[in-house]
Amino acid sequence: MASGPIFQRMLRAAKLESQLYEEVESDSGATGQALLVVVLVSICTGIGHGIAVLMQGTESLLPFILSLVTGIIGSLIAWFIFALLTFWLGTSIFKGPNTKSSLNEMLRTLGFAYSPGVLNILSFIPFIGSAVPFFTFIWTIIAAVIAVRQACDFTTGRAIGTVVVAAIVYFIFLIVIAMIIGGAMAAVLYPTMK
């Protein structure tokens, strides 16, 4: 059973408290809470973006709903892939001393690292709203470094290296997937004429 109310833990995670990341690393019941954090952040991001789109005069709610659903699914997939990459890099390349570290520990700590993203709900606010996602992204990266450091029990330098390399590999993966999907869609939508 997870100890500690989720919103209190999210606040502590956003405050970049190392002890919180250590706490959720060892709390096997916090995996569900970490998943919920990722979903909550996705919902907040979707709502903020959706309100901004609606404020521009869009009359249909369908794009908003589709964006929200695909955003949640995409965030969960991204969370898992990034946790898998950081776990593999942290334990095999950067060689953290925590030989008992597990993928579940990385999922829990990185899930809570998403916490600053709830502020993305404010991205609809004129003038400052466009800066909110950038600000929360930087904040989340800093939280991810702390999360990886605590999960792998190694130095901040190794954690930064792990997060940077994982991010590069992840973005290359996204580009390749986008190219494959884009190529397939182009072949279907614009077949070669004879």
Query: Does a structural domain hold residue 86?
Result: yes
Query: Does a structural domain hold residue 61?
Result: yes
Query: Does a structural domain hold residue 183?
Result: yes
Please tell me the pTM assigned to this model.
0.85
Query: Does a structural domain hold residue 1?
Result: no
Task: Check residue 67 and give its pLDDT.
Answer: 77
Task: Check residue 3 and give its pLDDT.
Answer: 54
Dihedral in degrees, nearest 10, Cα atoms 167, 16, 10, 55: -60
Both structure tokens of 146: 């702390």
pLDDT tens for 68-83 read 888 888 889 999 999 9
Query: Does a structural domain hold residue 163?
Result: yes
Query: Does a structural domain hold residue 78?
Result: yes
Task: Check residue 66 and give its pLDDT.
Answer: 80
Query: Does a structural domain hold residue 194?
Result: no
- Does position 110 have pLDDT exceeding 90, yes or no? yes
Please, are residues 148 and 86 in contact by the beta-carbon 8 Å criterion? yes
Q: Which residue has the higher pLDDT, 24 or 54?
A: 24
Domain that holds residue 121: 6-189
Contacts of 39 (CB under 8 A, 6+ apart): 72, 75, 76
- Our count of domains for the chain comes to 1
Query: Does a structural domain hold residue 84?
Result: yes
Q: b or e along 3-38 (b: 16 or more beta carbons within 10 Å of the residue's beta carbon)?
A: eeebeebbebbbebeeebbbbbbebeebbebbbebb
Q: For 108-112, 134-138, 176-180, which range has the lowest pLDDT when averaged over its residues? A: 176-180
Q: What is the mean pLDDT of residues 29-53?
A: 91
